[in-house]
Structure 1
Amino acid sequence: MPQTDVIIIGSGIAALSAAYYLKHKNVIVITKSSWTESNSMLAQGGIAAAIHKNDSWKNHYEDTLIAGCHHNNKHNVKKLVTEGPIEIVKWCKNGMTFDTDNNNQFLLGKEGAHSHNRILHAGGDATGREMTMFLYNKIKSKAVLIENEMALDLIIENGTCLGVRTKANNGALNTYLASKTIVASGGCGAVYGHTSNADVITGDGIAMAFRAGAEITDMEFIQFHPTMLNIEGRCVGLISEAVRGEGAVLINDRGEAFMHNIHHQKDLAPRDVVSRAIFEEMKKGHNVYLDISPITNFKERFPTVSNICRENGVNIEHGKLPVAPGMHFLMGGIRTNDKGETSIKDLFAIGETACTGVHGANRLASNSLLEGLVFGKNVASHILSVPFEKRASYSIDEGTDSQGQKLNLPTRKHIQRVMSEYVGIQRTEAELTIAVNWFKTYQSTFFDLNVKNLTREEMETINLLTIGWLISSSALKRTESRGGHYRLDFPYTNDNEWNERQIIRTKEEMYAEV
């Protein structure tokens, strides 16, 4: 039974940032697929930081609050925007390179809801990939990396996290004990049919923490990216917001630039606003396109997007890319403080898995990679400042052998259909009630699992069911429209006060509702 100082579940930028700063400890990084399979690797847009002399952290701070509809944790937002530039400069000194002009000055782009050009890019539109690979190369000789092993459940004893149980692709069950455990396994894109997320992002970390009794918050706030490449009703790839930052314009099949009449920032309005506008156009029967003709060097500036278009038979020379919104980012997750601490002792969470409150009700574009860097470092710094305890040997109770029993589980596509139809961009009480009642029929599978005989596919389905219930029931309870949670039966809210009516979902609460 392997023991170590720190276990990190996940291999995205938040996980690797934490691993880097924990380099003097014994660290095991566990990921259920290849370390290259993460949303961080897919991030095109860039990383936001107020580093230009005409910009300031206060501007970035205000933009983040406005985009988040003032549902943000202001303390954590300030940490994000003040520590972010320091972290980026440090990484540049360590060898990380971002795109620059002929004078060796950063090429700073502009994206939705930003008041200044402050988006750094690497490799054109491959920023996440470049940053993740850079961090991986920094930690690969210092941490133990275990690939193709899925975390099943956290080991909790007397309110303390002792480690994690996993299952390898060959079916082997393993137990890892650690002084500290960090969940950094990403969001839950697979719960929706149309998503920009990697296929492996099935909400495992959040569902696992929920089963363990951790507090989960803000699950109703889902960010739909406005511009997924839309081929015959299928979202096949992301068209970075940076494309609109370079001058591309959203138009319908009549050639109308409809965002001009909706928001003063037009095509660079906050993502929730743009997604709803596109959705309304589609409800009217219109197709929506991204007019890229104003961008003269499109292939050079956006090589990743160009390749996605080519692979799906879209000729960029025609100047119009068919687009539709798709699930992109979860603002909620495992509730943490600025040190990454959860409601369970010795259990931490960072990245999209966590809810620090920095994103509020709607994430500001290109703040996610920044969050991974800043809070990955913060959790590592805190862990290094507290005592480490060696775990005693632990006897795992695998439960009753359920071999031969057939679980009553829906297909992944069925879950995605329920979420897309009833818990999508626009919501109503009636639709949310349908979704909640549907998920309730599977609640018996959420807890007290015998993981010994479950396949990876079954575990992922159970996790998706758990996530779907958390999102839909939280959305039903929030009787307002704010950011990524938009209800047709309640007015839109964007007041300047922190909204205290967060929904905290715990295992005990779900049991009470069954």
Structure 2
Amino acid sequence: MNRQADVIIVGSGLAALQLAHHLHSTSHVIILTKTKIRQSNSYIAQGGIAAVIDKGDSIHSHVEDTLNAGRHHHFIEEVERLADEGAAAVKELIAGGLHIDRDADGQPSLGLEGAHSAKRIIHSGGDATGRHTVEHLLATLPENVEIIEGEMAYDCLLSEDRSLCIGVKTKSKEGVISYCWAPHVVIATGGAGAVYPATSNQPTMTGDGVAIAFRAGAEIADMEFVQFHPTLLFANGAAQGLISEAVRGAGAKLIDGSGSLLMEGVHPLKDLAPRHIAAYEIYKARTKGKEVFLDIRGMEHFEKQFPTITALCKRNGVSISDGLLPVAPGSHFLMGGISVDSNGCTTIPGLYAVGEAAHSGVHGANRLASNSLLEGIVYGRRLAAFINRRLPASQLPARVFYYDSQLPAESAGGFSKEELRNRTMKAAGIIRTPENLQSHVRYLEALGVREWIESGLDELEQEAIEKIYMSINSYLISRAALLRTESRGAHIRTDFMAEEVHWRGKRVIQTKDRINIRGGQHERNPIRIHA
């Protein structure tokens, strides 16, 4: 099947929908999702949107909090633009009809989350901000936007010399291949949380967008920085879902099985310390055989304030009335991803990335709480403005690149997703050792990951393609983690436990042909290919 559009958006989360909203109404926009439109990380996001809308707050403070949480490993001008444009973009959403939680006097009810120095977290429906925001955007989606569900985008369509992206190939669960042509292709697939055994992400978050772009030849940056959320509900022997940081912002405390305060003396912000610090403390306690709990016994009206978390606990047999919620860390957010410039352009003309799949430089080594939805809102709107200036586009090239060889249908049959997740966690989880990283890289190369990167996937079913994409993401994460010989933010090496000054601002860059280190402490975003 062949389809033609002006803009193709791969993914259906907040960044994708915000982008679609702001594209010209005269353009034909296709949103592709391999599952359902409401099955995104954005939809299940419990946290809110960080934005400076209170007179007592400041853009400068938001920027400083972002830099401190991310250990000053950012493109600073991008952080400044995020905070500044974010305030205006959120106000635009509210003016457009997004209902937010308000105090009795009608003012926005602003919450506090980890590493924030002020109450600036906007919520909608308590702990269901993602769902309410996505539903708002879906309800107001323009008629020029076509949504196609149940088709997995698995490769870029490239010009014969691979210099230009001109579309994507998709595959249905039944194995039907479709060609979707467009002069503007946007990756908005989210992160790669499902590469790990315990995650707050949807189980479908297998890093598809990063793998697609990487295979096409795009530059990938900082994949070693994987954020582990400190508090996933741990019940029935496994992580069951996220307990939002807003719970700690509202007064909950982390304690161990003996009742001792876990974060006392660890960080000045205690339970609201940056996520990598809290996750590390919980990890250390659990490796010593101690249980860790969120103590909510001092909180009033918990069930009303956090209905989604209450329902999660009840489904898993955890009593809210007892006031002790068992928790463990789990993979949450990918700070690295596809290198983009300020507009969302990748290093391949015609290919763009936005949201968690992109590395825009705003999150550094550890994302500040509730900056993720903000990023989607800001960069979705900004990329739309960039693409709008280039519509309509000229005719696409007639000659297309084809792989010399196709992987056979039985490729990736020698391992299970569960095995890969466990191996990835051991090698590139919360704590990394050089021995485990080296062993895992060798394991993936022995499986055939280098061949998978360079071969066609047309003969594979969706499940096999997902396994290959998970392997590619695991490979990118592990190689980058091996190269970065320091501990910074979410990247913790047992043999290099300190932050190193000479590593500050340096990025681990990977393409199909090479892996290298680029930049320095005062580097500005170097990608300016479409300016």
TM-score by length of 2: 0.93
The residue identity in structure 1 corresponding to 2:85 is E
Conservation of the 8 A alpha-carbon contact between 2:24 and 2:388: no
Counterpart in 1 of 2:523? none
2:318 aligned to which of 307, 314, 321: 314
Conservation of the 8 A alpha-carbon contact between 2:43 and 2:134: yes
Counterpart in 2 of 1:331? 335
SS in 2 for 1:307: helix
The residue identity in structure 2 corresponding to 1:435 is H
CA gap 1:396/1:430 in 2 versus in 1, 3 angstroms: closer
1:199 matched to 2:203? The reply is: yes
The residue identity in structure 1 corresponding to 2:466 is E
Counterpart in 2 of 1:429? 434
Counterpart in 1 of 2:29? 27
Structure 1 stretch 63-72 or stretch 19-28: which is displaced more? 19-28
CA gap 1:318/1:410 in 2 versus in 1, 3 angstroms: same
The residue identity in structure 2 corresponding to 1:249 is K
CA distance in 1, matches of 2:406, 2:249: 56
Counterpart in 2 of 1:241? 245
SS in 1 for 2:374: helix
1:391 aligned to which of 396, 399, 409: 396
Counterpart in 1 of 2:48? 46
CA distance in 2, matches of 1:161, 1:463: 19
Conservation of the 8 A alpha-carbon contact between 2:410 and 2:460: no
CA distance in 1, matches of 2:102, 2:500: 37
Q: CA deviation at 1:204?
A: 0.3
1:123 matched to 2:125? The reply is: yes
SS in 1 for 2:489: coil
Aligned pairs for 1:375-386 (under 5 A) are 375-386=379-390
CA gap 1:372/1:319 in 2 versus in 1, 3 angstroms: same
SS in 2 for 1:433: helix
Conservation of the 8 A alpha-carbon contact between 1:398 and 1:452: no
2:65 aligned to which of 55, 63, 66: 63
Conservation of the 8 A alpha-carbon contact between 1:427 and 1:488: yes
Q: CA deviation at 1:207?
A: 0.4
CA distance in 1, matches of 2:345, 2:214: 15
SS in 2 for 1:274: helix
Cα displacement string for residues 453-506 of structure 1 (whole angstroms, at most 9, x for unaligned residues): 2000000000000000000010000000000101111132286x9834211000
Counterpart in 2 of 1:488? 494
CA distance in 2, matches of 1:183, 1:377: 15
Counterpart in 1 of 2:453? 447
Counterpart in 1 of 2:416? 411
CA distance in 2, matches of 1:498, 1:422: 21
1:266 aligned to which of 254, 267, 270: 270
Aligned pairs for 1:183-262 (under 5 A) are 183-262=187-266
1:166 aligned to which of 150, 160, 170: 170
1:102 matched to 2:104? The reply is: yes
SS in 2 for 1:310: helix
CA gap 1:407/1:229 in 2 versus in 1, 3 angstroms: closer
CA gap 1:82/1:231 in 2 versus in 1, 3 angstroms: same
The residue identity in structure 2 corresponding to 1:451 is L
The residue identity in structure 2 corresponding to 1:484 is A
Q: What is the RMSD computed on CA atoms of the aligned residues?
A: 1.7
The residue identity in structure 1 corresponding to 2:150 is N
Q: CA deviation at 1:448?
A: 3.4
1:7 matched to 2:13? The reply is: no
Conservation of the 8 A alpha-carbon contact between 2:218 and 2:511: yes
CA gap 1:399/1:433 in 2 versus in 1, 3 angstroms: closer
The residue identity in structure 2 corresponding to 1:274 is A
Counterpart in 2 of 1:142? 144
1:297 matched to 2:301? The reply is: yes
Cα displacement string for residues 352-376 of structure 1 (whole angstroms, at most 9, x for unaligned residues): 0000010000000000000000000
Conservation of the 8 A alpha-carbon contact between 1:445 and 1:462: no
CA distance in 2, matches of 1:219, 1:169: 29
CA gap 1:405/1:356 in 2 versus in 1, 3 angstroms: closer
CA gap 1:177/1:406 in 2 versus in 1, 3 angstroms: closer
CA distance in 1, matches of 2:380, 2:401: 30
Q: CA deviation at 1:447?
A: 2.3
1:478 aligned to which of 475, 484, 493: 484
Structure 1 runs of 4+ with >6 Å offset: none
SS in 1 for 2:379: helix
Counterpart in 1 of 2:113? 111
CA gap 1:56/1:249 in 2 versus in 1, 3 angstroms: same
| Structure 2, unpaired ranges of 5+ | 517-531
The residue identity in structure 1 corresponding to 2:429 is G
Conservation of the 8 A alpha-carbon contact between 1:84 and 1:373: yes
SS in 1 for 2:378: helix
The residue identity in structure 2 corresponding to 1:20 is H
Q: CA deviation at 1:406?
A: 5.2
The residue identity in structure 1 corresponding to 2:88 is I
SS in 2 for 1:503: strand
CA distance in 2, matches of 1:434, 1:489: 16
CA gap 1:494/1:289 in 2 versus in 1, 3 angstroms: farther
The residue identity in structure 2 corresponding to 1:41 is Y
CA gap 1:384/1:295 in 2 versus in 1, 3 angstroms: same
Conservation of the 8 A alpha-carbon contact between 1:15 and 1:184: yes
Q: CA deviation at 1:394?
A: 5.3
CA gap 1:404/1:137 in 2 versus in 1, 3 angstroms: closer
CA gap 1:6/1:406 in 2 versus in 1, 3 angstroms: closer
The residue identity in structure 2 corresponding to 1:12 is G
CA distance in 2, matches of 1:492, 1:231: 34
Q: How many residues align?
A: 510
Conservation of the 8 A alpha-carbon contact between 2:407 and 2:455: no
